[in-house]
Copies of this chain bind each other. A is one copy, B any other.
């Protein structure tokens, strides 16, 4: 096959040190119990040859790669980036690395993408998958160890971390109602997204409880561009307050409204969802729901570590986002 990479192999070190590969392996892994002078010799030869064990070969023999995958629907979203950042940091502390994948391009191949990436590592953290429940359930078995973020499912036996979108969006609606708004409009997230569905359900609950409030819905998306795009429709909707699917949409919307001469919050209130780092810096600062993304990433790793080491993971948790009232919401006009 003759495909030498140039790097020294354990056999070469063994030969150079006059010992067997088994001994080199033991020395390299601090499992060597014999004569210290041998260990020393091996170590020095290893350094001379710039030997460093092939992680690949090691993984194959050991049956584990010390890597996990993190799959998100949109790597460009700060909310997911925050999770990735903390997940990666937490995993690194235990010697694990994370492999990323973004299913944005073609949500329809998400199951394939996930299966493929799962085979490259020891486990997968699936964040807010867009695939259907049926697909998710049927895939879950082959994905294990698996940690689910933002997509609890009692048919799946995997630790799950989630955010209570349903009650969260109601807090937002209540906040607006308290300010006197009676006509709200919700800019929806990506079609088929579970987290959008939860928000819609929450708003339905709310509306049921508050007959005096009307809530319209406008199709939107998950990015600032989507928010910008619906600005005119929002202005013309007759509503006095807009609930955006997330902060990104809210920021785009904010910008669009301002460009249209709509004053926020005097003419119209706007809310976001996520509390991404920049929500506090917009003009006006965005009223939103604070979701602890860093915490989610870190917790995901804790669950995962338990899983891969055969322990019983801590119980699932549902985070209740905290209402963060800032300047983008105010009393209803008139």
Contact = CB atoms under 8 A, between A and B. Distances in A.
A201 to B, nearest CB: 30
A100 interface: yes
A156 to B, nearest CB: 18
A57 interface: yes
Contacts of A3: 63
A104 B54 CA distance: 26
A120 B99 CA distance: 11
A88 B65 contact: no
Interface in A240-285: 251, 254-255, 277-278, 280-284
Given A98-B100, A102-B85, A119 B76 contact: no
Interface residues of A, number: 50
A81 interface: yes
Contact of A251 (B85, B142, B278): B278
B120 A102 contact: no
Given A63-B3, A81-B78, A120 B92 contact: no
B101 A92 contact: yes
A101 B88 contact: yes
Interface of A: 1, 3, 5, 50, 52-57, 59-61, 63, 65, 67, 75-76, 78, 81-82, 84-85, 88-89, 92, 97-102, 104-105, 115, 117, 119-120, 142, 224, 251, 254-255, 277-278, 280-284
